[in-house]
């Protein structure tokens, strides 16, 4: 088949997957997929612990096609092809569901790619029910939900996975690059995860790969950043292990009320739809954590003892630096539930340093953080409301300043009034154009007005005029 395609297509129009190899190393097995587009040839590889050899499915091209499909579309390949078979269900899901929808969401360059490969109906029936264990909030929330006490035996997680597919990039917008290399970060954090899995008696399947390099630096694809491709990078590895894994959970970041498809944005925005469509007939995928927001996951972990000493969220180092984007966010989320919550994680974070040097400053900045036009803002919005309910002292007065000489404000445009200065806060009524309210002060960009019972109510500054 590949020979025919090469004859009928120009270089750069097709992506061929050939020569799948199994190479035995000391204690690992390396699976290679040869990728070729007529312009260059690269090897996509995965390295897996030898003890899990029986789970490897390398008689077909499923893993490579699922992993690369979106990247191949964004590059504009017309055809992705292989002489190795693809599982019938995966072929159907990708060709008739995933590709048409992603094509609509793409740019001019994005192609409605055609998968050309023989189809196989053969399926496997592995006994592993797995989820990732990086020891982050998502991993522990999935463990909390699907381990020990989950009501359905066949859906209870019995295995953890840990993949090196690009999450350990080691950079952060606040702290820059950490001192550990990507490789060190992966290895050192893996040590903690191994210890954790041993303690709680779960097998851990570790897989390394060069997929991060293939997607971002090989030149065979339009650069696929980690957030634009993490779901496929991770679940592609699971598909490679589909002789053993029959169900896999991937933690959700966004719920359906936040659904959007933009190939340049975080894949998590549309993975609720994407994930079930990666089923091959041998493995099924589900999103873990129901409709929990980040703050809900944190709340569940407060009484989930296994995670207290093992939480690892830091972007730049093994252990938690306490200052990077993820550390800051997590410390504030814990703190929003109160001092006792923070104290439970004293072996995962340097709580004393946080309280002494950062707590006041970060919560002083929370209005700015939650009103920012970025992907972090909604986390701070959740933290803010949680702190109002559970730990109001760290926020202080919700009215920070009062303009001199202002007694009243007039509403410029019909708007919703809020109980707290937050767009996610409970609504307490509607203000009509030209309504007048007594002015109590502000925490910009929110203005505090006096409600009917004398209590403060809040409205965005842009909707009012000082009078």
Contact window for Zn ion (CB under 5 A) among 17-25, 221-229, 322-330, 414-422: 322-330
131, 132, 159, 193, 405 from 139: Cα distances, Å: 8, 6, 12, 11, 53
Q: What is the Cα–Cα distance from 16 to 65, expressed in whole angstroms?
A: 10
| C-beta of residue 81 within 8 angstroms of C-beta of residue 71 | no
Residue 137 vs 324, nearer CB to Zn ion: 324
| C-beta of residue 169 within 8 angstroms of C-beta of residue 200 | no
Contact window for Zn ion (CB under 5 A) among 130-138, 280-288, 316-324, 446-454: 316-324
Residue 328 vs 391, nearer CB to Zn ion: 328
The least CB distance from residue 330 to Zn ion, in Å, is: 9
Residue 275 vs 321, nearer CB to Zn ion: 321
The least CB distance from residue 178 to Zn ion, in Å, is: 8
Decide if residue 321 touches Zn ion (CB under 5 A). yes
Close Cβ partners of 151 (under 8 Å, ≥ 6 residues apart)? none
Contact window for Zn ion (CB under 5 A) among 21-29, 88-96, 308-316, 456-464: 308-316
Decide if residue 197 touches Zn ion (CB under 5 A). no
**What is the arrangement of strands in the sheet containing 408-411, beginning at the earlier edge strand?**
427-431, 415-418, 456-460, 446-450, 436-443, 408-411, 464-466
Q: What is the Cα–Cα distance from 130 to 202, expressed in whole angstroms?
A: 10
Q: What is the DSSP string of 382-423?
A: HHHHHHHHH-GGGT--S--B--TT--EEEESS-EEEESSSST
Single out the residue of 133, 128, 91 nearest to residue 246, CA to CA.
128
Contact window for Zn ion (CB under 5 A) among 16-24, 226-234, 325-333, 399-407: 325-333
Residue 16 vs 327, nearer CB to Zn ion: 327
The least CB distance from residue 323 to Zn ion, in Å, is: 6
Residue 39 vs 174, nearer CB to Zn ion: 174
Q: What is the Cα–Cα distance from 457 to 437, expressed in whole angstroms?
A: 10
φ/ψ of residue 158, rounded to 5: -125, 0
Decide if residue 385 touches Zn ion (CB under 5 A). no
Residue 237 vs 314, nearer CB to Zn ion: 314
The least CB distance from residue 312 to Zn ion, in Å, is: 10
Decide if residue 185 touches Zn ion (CB under 5 A). no
Contact pattern for Zn ion over residues 79 through 108, marking x by CB under 5 A: ------------------------------
Residue 301 vs 327, nearer CB to Zn ion: 327
Decide if residue 324 touches Zn ion (CB under 5 A). yes
The least CB distance from residue 326 to Zn ion, in Å, is: 6
Q: Which two tokens stand for residue 195?
A: 């210890």
Q: What is the dihedral of CA 46, 48, 54, 56, to 10 degrees?
A: -20
Number of chain positions touching Zn ion (CB under 5 A): 4
Decide if residue 332 touches Zn ion (CB under 5 A). no
Q: Which two tokens stand for residue 221?
A: 């694809």
Decide if residue 331 touches Zn ion (CB under 5 A). no
Residue 125 vs 361, nearer CB to Zn ion: 361
Decide if residue 314 touches Zn ion (CB under 5 A). yes
Decide if residue 327 touches Zn ion (CB under 5 A). yes
Q: What is the Cα–Cα distance from 440 to 110, expressed in whole angstroms?
A: 53
Contact window for Zn ion (CB under 5 A) among 130-138, 228-236, 239-247, 311-319: 311-319
| C-beta of residue 359 within 8 angstroms of C-beta of residue 338 | no
Binding site for Zn ion (CB under 5 A): 314, 321, 324, 327
């Amino acid at each position: 088949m590949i020979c025919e395609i090469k004859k009928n297509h120009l270089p750069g129009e097709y992506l061929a997957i050939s020569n799948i190899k199994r190479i035995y190393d000391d204690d690992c097995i390396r699976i290679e997929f040869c990728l070729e587009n007529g312009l260059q040839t690269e090897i996509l590889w995965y390295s897996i612990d030898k003890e899990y050899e029986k789970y490897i499915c390398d008689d077909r091209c499923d893993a490579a096609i699922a992993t690369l499909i979106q990247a191949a579309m964004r590059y504009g390949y017309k055809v992705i092809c292989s002489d190795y078979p693809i599982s019938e269900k995966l072929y159907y899901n990708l060709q008739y569901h995933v590709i048409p929808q992603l094509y609509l969401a793409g740019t001019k360059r994005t192609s409605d790619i055609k998968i050309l490969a023989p189809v196989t109906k053969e399926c496997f029936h592995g006994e592993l029910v797995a989820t990732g264990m990086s020891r982050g909030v998502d991993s522990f929330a999935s463990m909390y939900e699907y381990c020990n006490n989950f009501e359905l035996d066949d859906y209870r997680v019995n295995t953890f996975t840990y993949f090196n597919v690009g999450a350990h990039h080691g950079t952060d917008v606040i702290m820059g690059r950490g001192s550990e290399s990507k490789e060190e970060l992966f290895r050192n954090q893996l040590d903690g995860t191994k210890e954790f899995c041993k303690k709680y008696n779960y097998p851990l399947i570790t897989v390394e790969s060069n997929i991060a390099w293939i997607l971002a630096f090989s030149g065979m694809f339009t650069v696929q950043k980690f957030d634009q491709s993490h779901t496929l990078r991770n679940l592609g590895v699971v598909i490679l292990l589909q002789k053993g894994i029959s169900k896999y959970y991937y933690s959700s970041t966004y719920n359906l009320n936040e659904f959007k498809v933009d190939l340049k944005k975080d894949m998590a925005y549309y993975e609720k739809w994407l994930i079930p469509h990666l089923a091959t007939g041998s493995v099924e995928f589900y999103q873990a954590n129901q409709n929990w927001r980040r703050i809900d996951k944190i709340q569940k972990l407060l009484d989930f003892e296994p995670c207290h000493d093992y939480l690892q969220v830091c972007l730049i180092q093994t252990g938690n630096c306490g200052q990077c984007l993820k550390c800051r966010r997590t410390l504030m989320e814990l703190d929003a539930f109160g001092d006792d919550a923070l104290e439970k994680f004293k072996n995962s974070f340097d709580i004393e340093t946080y309280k002494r040097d950062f707590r006041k400053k970060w919560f002083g900045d929370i209005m700015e953080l939650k009103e920012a036009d970025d992907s972090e803002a909604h986390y701070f919005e959740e933290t803010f409301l949680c702190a109002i309910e559970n730990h109001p002292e760290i926020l202080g007065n919700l009215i920070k300043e009062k303009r001199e000489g202002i007694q009243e404000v007039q509403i410029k445009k019909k708007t919703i009034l809020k109980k707290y200065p937050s767009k996610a806060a409970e609504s307490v009524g509607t203000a009509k154009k030209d309504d007048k309210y007594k002015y109590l002060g502000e925490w910009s960009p929110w203005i505090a007005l006096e409600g009917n019972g004398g209590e403060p109510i809040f409205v965005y500054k842009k909707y009012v005029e000082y009078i």
